[in-house]
Structure 1
Amino acid sequence: MLEEFVGETWHKFITKRADKSYPEAVVHLDEVRRTAGIFFRALGGEGGLRVENATDSEVHAKRTILQRIAGIADKTQYAWRDEETLRLPDSIALFPTRQLNLDLYLWLTALSVIDSNNATAKDWISRNQYCTLSTLAIWPGLKPRYDNLLQAHLQQRPDPKHLSKGEANQETAIQNALMDSDKAVQLQYAKRPPQPVPLWLHPSPPEEEFSNSIPPQDPDFDEAAQSKEQKKDQEKQQKRKQGKRTEMPDGNSGLMSFRLESLWSWAEYSKVDRTSTEDDDDNAMRTAEDMDSITVAQDSKTTSSKIKLDLDLPSSNYDDIVLGEGLPIDEWDYKQQRMQKDHCRLQTMVSRDAIPTELPERLRAQTHKVRRQFEVLKPQRVWKNRQNDGTELDLENYVNYLTDRKHGHVQSDTPVYRELRNQNRDLSCLLLADLSLSTDAHINNDSRVIDVIRDSLYLFSEALHATGDRFALHGFSSRNRNHVRFYNIKDFDENYNDEVRGHIDAVRPGYYTRMGAAIRHATEQLSKQATSQKLLLILTDGKPNDLDKYEGRYGIEDTRMAVLEAEKLGVRPFCVTIDEQAEDYLPYLFGSRSFVLIRNAAELPKKLPLLYLRLTKN
């Protein structure tokens, strides 16, 4: 115990003496992630770009003796961006004040808006000089912040007098480039690379990376807070790892060689089969959390106890019933900035296993409560006065007519009748449910996401049936652009009955989420309805994705274009999601007021009808 106490005390002492950061002024990316995204788009940056955590990268620059003893300052997190993401450090504590650390986040965000490919020279110093000059020229209001950051950072950089000749020339060139972004400098590489420049962007991804990070949650729609244990687990999962590839170890090497400095870190071989669909090795996960880097290798060995499964379509005898030959659907290619005509093929389908069924017993009490809430919206019979013809006289207007006639002010077309009419709500709603394979995930020990979606469809239908509103139910999934599955659960002209409940009961998860094609077809169905209000409710558990390049920004941009097309046709798209990462991409897809995140998936059946009530009460 005494040895442990002494060791821990020594570690704290030496680390505190060697650490040049300011933990008391730290600013975390989670605090500014949303602000950075808004700031980036406000400066004219691309709307589909995401702000995510950077990875740890090794620093080979010279360290002080105290830093080497403490084992710190050997890693940093470079800020950089690519086509789809802006990577910023998990936290910044470089400066003694929080304001400076916050300003550095904003400066890096502004710097990333500039396209460095327009720089004449291609070395990383000249490109950052070009981006710095361009940023200050376009947004001169940032200059005071940048000047404060520059002065604070120059004070932290090493003095060239204390460096070797090669390293001194290298450091002098970098400081000159920082102080005068318009001055061309030539970097002469020394034995050791220079200290990182946190005011600049890294020219490219520092390392190939692997990540299991989960973006932070923003309590917006759900009032329930997470427990401390859940937050602790998320903090562990947010740690990003560097990755590299190597040959598969054979395990037959008799000797193991190592360098002494490797004692300060460790690595372990853990066989994790990423080619199989079920591999829940908790020990492997704990191992990965403790490792500094993750190395992957391709195992060429085969096993006799595995059956290779392909995500393919079932036989036509077992698959759902296809209606028609398929419909051509356009798709937006954001790279080429053009609409690809008839790029997708949408198959309308109905479930083969659907049999008429009654409402499940578990939902009877909740259904009764929902019906009572929605009966107030049921069409009422009201008298329409001042009609040219009707079932009886409008006495008030008839008396006024006789009075005007007596005084010689008679108009022959004065309406003096009234009629009893139904006061209908002039709206149509189409609910489009995501039935991708991810909905097969469990939300607790008793139910899966698809079970929650099924119950939501039941209660939603019961609520709208009570109001008499026109509504349709459809589901969708996809396997590639040539096979987008669009399920008919209930059309607008169908009555809600046991047959429709049978189709709801038969929904099953499968395949991927090509959302753009499904939204375009749903929009076409809604636009045919002769109502003044048209609401498209999209129920999903994740972001758009599919095979054949639909993953990532391509799918995001196509879905956003489909949403914009729907709005131009008078359709109001609104997304309801249970995806914890939705705050990162749904504001860009639907707008900040056209989506809602339900953090507790089990509450979706109860909240969906109430959400519809809120959206259509006017």
Structure 2
Amino acid sequence: MDPRDIFEPEEVVGKAWHKWVTTIGAPEAHDDHAVALDEVSGRLAVLFRGLGGAGETEIRPVADESSGHRLGFLRRLGAEAESVPRASFDGAVLRLPARLAVFPAREANAALYLWLAALAAHAQPHDKNEDPLQRDLASLRATRAMISATVADAPGLAGLWRDLAAAHLEMRARPALPDGEAAIEALVRRTLGDPAPLPPLAEVFAELIEGGNLAAASAPRRYRPFAPVPLWPELRSLVFGDAEAVETRETDQPPEGTGDGEGPARKARRHRTDQAERKDSFILHKFEAMLSVAQFVNLNRRVEDDDEDGAKKAADDADEIGLGQLAKAPATRLRLHLDLAPEDADLEALSAKHVYPEWDVRRGVYLPAHARVIAAPVEAATDHAHAFDPRAEARIRAVRRQFEALR
């Protein structure tokens, strides 16, 4: 402890309380056996495309996401929502946790990455449901289809799936839930291989999943989705921002401060911010005292930004970072890795002597002046080229004869 902390006892006690209360009921993390995505990313790309995944699909690391599932009473004392590693796939980008520490064995965590990539290769287009209960039922139906297709296409992965599912079943919490949520949780456990009999309501939901008539179910009031399962990716619809309707401006003055740029990519989306430049400020109340559930508000807010620590904490707490356009530079600049949809990226043409168009595989068009070639003079060789090894020449002739035989 810093000796200066004795002059701020309230802050010291607050930090100690926060550190203790946030661990109550938290899921166990096996940090000593964690595996980073960078360690297996090369194998994942080969496996994903080898099992039929689209060649243009990107594989990106993402930070943990906030989950809206129901928490127990003790857990709610320390956290309003739980941050969990979650994989997702929207047909264009496969987002995998930057780090997995789900199981108490490195081999299992590394194998989980491979299983997630194999599942995503067999994912089908997924439509978003507005009703949360229908969304959970549709998710379970799509997940079962993914698992069946993966095991049928790659039978050697069936044993891996059974082992991972059995291990997760032992670790998965059994909270007290309302009837509807308990029925969905029972179906989740059945998907993982739990042989326990289903409650009557879960049997009804299972028939809806088999029959495809999900519209017959509707979520009761205060319904919460089931706790995320790390063994399958969440299928999402491709979401586009307002990149076509916004512009990128230069600020009036350089911002102060800096950022380290470390950490996994954070979800971000472009928004229209035409109201932020208005001269008639919207002043009703001190904004710091107003409770809000919005991630982004298109509003003229004439207040100074927080310091660097406050801005970084706000970025860490946000599930999605909104990108806007302001003429005035912010007081603090943070360097972040952003997970943007391709359409939200700032597609700015290059300026150089040798520029060429670049093919955009998703749009099916050439982007002018998006590839640059830097020409450099070739230095004259100072020594003579080494002669080929006779054995190397013999191998070259043998390979040449093999290809000539294919003519």
| TM bracket (short chain) | 0.5 to 0.7
Contact 1:207-1:242 within 8 A present in 2 as well: no
Distance (Å, rounded) in 2 between the aligned partners of 1:51 and 1:126: 24
Shift in CA distance, 437/284, structure 1 to aligned 2, threshold 3 Å: farther
The equivalent of 1:85 in structure 2 is 93
The equivalent of 1:60 in structure 2 is 68
The equivalent of 2:111 in structure 1 is 103
**Is residue 49 from structure 1 mapped to residue 48 from structure 2 by the alignment?**
no
The equivalent of 2:193 in structure 1 is 179
Residue 94 of structure 1: how far off its partner (Å): 1.9
The equivalent of 1:127 in structure 2 is 142
Contact 1:209-1:241 within 8 A present in 2 as well: no
Contact 2:282-2:299 within 8 A present in 1 as well: no
Distance (Å, rounded) in 2 between the aligned partners of 1:105 and 1:289: 29
Residue 290 of structure 1: how far off its partner (Å): 3.9
Distance (Å, rounded) in 1 between the aligned partners of 2:38 and 2:119: 20
Aligned with 2:282 (options 252, 263, 277): 252
Shift in CA distance, 615/150, structure 1 to aligned 2, threshold 3 Å: farther
- The residue identity in structure 1 corresponding to 2:164 is L
Output the TM-score relative to the length of structure 2: 0.58
**Is residue 200 from structure 1 mapped to residue 208 from structure 2 by the alignment?**
no
Distance (Å, rounded) in 1 between the aligned partners of 2:121 and 2:373: 31
Q: Map Cα deviations across residues 124-180 of structure 1 (whole Å, 9 max, x no partner).
A: 2111101101111111111221111101222233326x2222221121122223328
The equivalent of 1:137 in structure 2 is 152
Contact 1:25-1:97 within 8 A present in 2 as well: yes
Distance (Å, rounded) in 1 between the aligned partners of 2:384 and 2:208: 63
The equivalent of 2:333 in structure 1 is none
Shift in CA distance, 296/46, structure 1 to aligned 2, threshold 3 Å: closer
Distance (Å, rounded) in 1 between the aligned partners of 2:384 and 2:153: 43
Shift in CA distance, 144/172, structure 1 to aligned 2, threshold 3 Å: same
Aligned-residue sequence identity (percent) comes to 25
Q: What is the CA RMSD across the aligned residues, in angstroms?
A: 5.2
Shift in CA distance, 13/112, structure 1 to aligned 2, threshold 3 Å: same
Residue 55 of structure 1: how far off its partner (Å): 5.8
The equivalent of 1:156 in structure 2 is 171
The equivalent of 2:262 in structure 1 is 235
Q: Map Cα deviations across residues 266-319 of structure 1 (whole Å, 9 max, x no partner).
A: 989999xxxxxxxxx9989994774213335688xx99xxxxxxxxxxxxxxxx
Aligned with 1:12 (options 3, 12, 19): 19
Residue 46 of structure 1: how far off its partner (Å): 2.8
SS in 2 for 1:101: helix
Q: Map Cα deviations across residues 342-390 of structure 1 (whole Å, 9 max, x no partner).
A: xxxxxxxxxxxxxxxxxxxxxxxxxxxxxxxxxxxxxxxxxxxxxxxxx
Shift in CA distance, 476/123, structure 1 to aligned 2, threshold 3 Å: same
Contact 1:514-1:546 within 8 A present in 2 as well: no
Contact 1:78-1:206 within 8 A present in 2 as well: no
- The residue identity in structure 1 corresponding to 2:12 is F
- The residue identity in structure 2 corresponding to 1:233 is D
Distance (Å, rounded) in 1 between the aligned partners of 2:64 and 2:170: 24
**Is residue 24 from structure 1 mapped to residue 32 from structure 2 by the alignment?**
yes
Residue 54 of structure 1: how far off its partner (Å): 3.5
- The residue identity in structure 2 corresponding to 1:13 is W
Q: Map Cα deviations across residues 175-228 of structure 1 (whole Å, 9 max, x no partner).
A: 2233289x9554764511111122222121486689xxxxxxxxxxxxxxxxxx
Contact 2:295-2:321 within 8 A present in 1 as well: no
Shift in CA distance, 268/143, structure 1 to aligned 2, threshold 3 Å: same
Q: Map Cα deviations across residues 491-524 of structure 1 (whole Å, 9 max, x no partner).
A: xxxxxxxxxxxxxxxxxxxxxx4146xxxxxxxx
Distance (Å, rounded) in 2 between the aligned partners of 1:235 and 1:82: 25
Q: Map of 1:399-548 to 2, 5 A cutoff? A: 438=350, 476-477=354-355, 513-515=356-358
Larger Rg: 1
- The residue identity in structure 1 corresponding to 2:21 is I
Output the TM-score relative to the length of structure 1: 0.40
Richer in strand (by share):
1
SS in 1 for 2:150: helix
SS in 2 for 1:116: coil
SS in 2 for 1:86: strand
**Is residue 39 from structure 1 mapped to residue 47 from structure 2 by the alignment?**
yes
Contact 2:69-2:227 within 8 A present in 1 as well: yes
Shift in CA distance, 46/14, structure 1 to aligned 2, threshold 3 Å: same
The equivalent of 1:295 in structure 2 is 322
- The residue identity in structure 2 corresponding to 1:7 is G
Contact 2:56-2:361 within 8 A present in 1 as well: no
Which of structures 1 and 2 has the larger relative contact order (alpha carbons within 8 angstroms, sep 6+)?
Answer: 2
Distance (Å, rounded) in 2 between the aligned partners of 1:124 and 1:32: 27
Distance (Å, rounded) in 2 between the aligned partners of 1:83 and 1:268: 28
Residue 53 of structure 1: how far off its partner (Å): 2.3
The equivalent of 1:169 in structure 2 is 183
Residue 110 of structure 1: how far off its partner (Å): 0.3
Residue 260 of structure 1: how far off its partner (Å): 8.7
- The residue identity in structure 2 corresponding to 1:199 is L
Distance (Å, rounded) in 1 between the aligned partners of 2:93 and 2:295: 30
Distance (Å, rounded) in 2 between the aligned partners of 1:614 and 1:9: 70
Q: Give the unaligned 5+ runs of structure 1.
A: 211-229, 272-280, 304-435, 441-449, 451-474, 478-512, 517-543, 560-574, 578-603
Number of positions where the alignment pairs a residue of Structure 1 with one of Structure 2: 308
SS in 1 for 2:94: strand
Distance (Å, rounded) in 2 between the aligned partners of 1:260 and 1:97: 45
Contact 1:52-1:86 within 8 A present in 2 as well: yes
Distance (Å, rounded) in 1 between the aligned partners of 2:105 and 2:31: 10
Shift in CA distance, 576/9, structure 1 to aligned 2, threshold 3 Å: farther
Residue 30 of structure 1: how far off its partner (Å): 2.1
Contact 1:112-1:201 within 8 A present in 2 as well: yes
Contact 1:57-1:76 within 8 A present in 2 as well: yes
SS in 2 for 1:75: strand
Residue 88 of structure 1: how far off its partner (Å): 1.0
Q: Give the unaligned 5+ runs of structure 2.
A: 128-133, 196-202, 210-216, 243-257, 329-347, 389-407
Distance (Å, rounded) in 1 between the aligned partners of 2:96 and 2:153: 22
- The residue identity in structure 2 corresponding to 1:295 is G
